[in-house]
Structure 1
Amino acid sequence: MTGGCQCSRIRYEVDAENDEAYLCHCRMCQRATGGVSIAFKNVPKASVRWTTQEPDYYASSPIARRGFCSACGTPLTFEYPDSDNMDLTVGSLDDPSGLKPKHNFGAEGLHEHWLNAADLPRYKAADYEPLKKRWEEKVGKVPD
């Protein structure tokens, strides 16, 4: 699998052994990402190859650090420095469609009403005329 940040300054390859991922709902992850949860893929650190450069890091607590791109702000990793494994953000993968959430972690911060949005109306970004017009004026098309 391959992935990276939004601006492509940081790119990686990873050998993923399975399709398992998980959602973390803890308050630290919520604050670090600005979301109600974050999707992670846990992998051995040795299976990750940074193909352009390593991410920038900050100590998000006394026991963990998070990797991110300081140019575009994309959250990329979570890790305990003393662990052989790390988490990659599912959203930073080029094609996250093969992964499936297997459990919820940090359930004390879980917001139930955000878990299942399957019955809500769905709108495609490319069909929203004000957004479509902005993209077409700037780059000629709506990005994939």
Structure 2
Amino acid sequence: MTINQQQNEIIEEFADIDDWMDRYAYIIDLGNALPPIDEKYRTPEYLIEGCQSRAWLHAALTPDGKIEFTADSDAIIVKGIISMLVKVLSGHTPDEIMDSDLYFIDRIGLSEHLSPTRSNGLAALVKQMKLYAVAYKAKIDSSK
């Protein structure tokens, strides 16, 4: 499934939920379903700078040249947002991740319902995911 197909799937999931309290509950459910990050990645090295709450992100390059993300947060809403980003970006190549336009955040109305500090944290998380893609692309290119 492409990044845009994943985003469209999330947009469709939210389309039937009108009330924002119900949307928050759904985001929390998504976070609760997020596989736990390995404890060895719950360290300052993997902490996302700029997040109001604590959020950790780890990326690994698979043998077929795709990036798999694992992440976690100590805040339930943040964990839900992270789970959507992981769902959309995991399993894609560095180029696909670098070129992605994450429009689902606006389309589900999330950006207008986040506090400024949460918006900053979301931006920091997306930036870090794209930086991992840049780093892994450089690693792939240098090994050719």
Larger Rg: 1
TM-score (norm 2): 0.27
- Structure number with the higher helix fraction is 2
TM-score (norm 1): 0.27
